[in-house]
Amino acid sequence: MKLNARKTRMNAIAIHAVMVPLAILWLFPVYMMFIFATMGDNAMFSHRILLLPGDQFWTNLSDLQRDVGFLRTLFNSVVVGVIYTFLSVLLTSMAGWALVNYKFFAKGTVVGIILGTMTLPFFVVVIPQFIMIARDFGLSNTWVALIVPPLFNSLGVLFMRQAFSMVPKELFDAARVEGVSEWKIYLHVGLPLVKPMLAALSIILFLHSWNNYLWPLLITNDPEMMTAPVALGSLIGNVDISWGSIMVGAALLTAPMLLVFVFLQKFFMAGITAGAVK
């Protein structure tokens, strides 16, 4: 018993000895981003490594707001991210539910097509998608253009398919015997049983929307409809680059995501590891 406890303790020490330096190596650039957000350009490019915050945060934030109206773009990102996450989780969970519980023609082919779409780089479809949305439908600079085209997420469909396949089908059959409608079974029986997976998928999809740069860049040219990543990218000019403003914007974009993961990591890890055993 003592030998096993000692072996377990030594393994834990060895793992921490490897993981702690790696964590520091990953977190140090993030820490320096927050430090640079409080400095002017001169201090930022100093030959000395400055590890303590400066006093230019509010100045940099004021410059950022003046140049691109960052608070407005931040609001746009929040609206797009929340609506996109809700609709995408709803659609992908419905698709996953159908693939698990219903039999229909060419079901295997449908699954194969969904798997195939995961191998296609976004750059393959972005130009046809842009032409269809902007030219054919005339929806550029609209909320619909920002939210609807990226809604289908093949990874989310397969994720929810795996989640529902882990739930005993006898529960659904029992509800059908009682005369419960399919819609109510999906909402009141299926979804509550896969809450950890729904939480993990919601975090993944929200991060995807929050960090999305290419599609909002292509489909919007109105400053009032820009998202925050696009606004930050517009600060990089050919001659003058406001690094202090960029660091503040990057810090404001990063901080909410760090907080979301810290407070919701229990649900995230539960959802990610749920498919490890059945």
% the chain with pLDDT above 90: 21
Does the domain formed by 71-277 have CATH 3.20.20.80? Answer: no
> b vs e for 116-139, b when ≥16 Cβ sit within 10 Å of the residue's Cβ?
eeeeeeeeeeeeebbeebbeeeeb
pLDDT over 80 at 134, yes or no? yes
- pLDDT at residue number 76: 94
* Mean pLDDT score, 188-206: 88
Amino acid at 63: D
Alpha-carbon distance of 86 to 202, in angstroms, equals 8
276: number of Cβ within 10 Å: 6
Confidence of residue 273 (pLDDT cuts 50, 70, 90): low
Alpha-carbon distance of 62 to 66, in angstroms, equals 6
Alpha-carbon distance of 151 to 91, in angstroms, equals 8
- pLDDT at residue number 278: 46
- pLDDT at residue number 49: 76
* Mean pLDDT score, 38-55: 80
User: 193: Cβ–Cβ under 8 A, 6 or more apart, which residues?
Assistant: 167, 171
DSSP 211-268: H--HHHHHH---GGG--HHHHHHTTB-SS-B-HHHHHHHHHHHHHHHHHHHHHHHHHH
- What is the average pLDDT value for the chain, to the nearest integer? 85
pTM, 2 dp: 0.84
pLDDT over 90 at 109, yes or no? no
> Which is more confident, 119 or 227?
227
* Mean pLDDT score, 232-240: 76
- pLDDT at residue number 41: 76
Amino acid at 234: S
Domain range list for the chain: 2-36, 71-277
Digit-coded pLDDT (tens) for 150-195: 888 888 898 898 888 888 888 888 888 888 888 898 988 889 888 8
Structure tokens at 117: 């779409």
**What angle do the packed helices 57-68 and 243-273 form, to 10 degrees?**
90
> Which is more confident, 169 or 72?
72
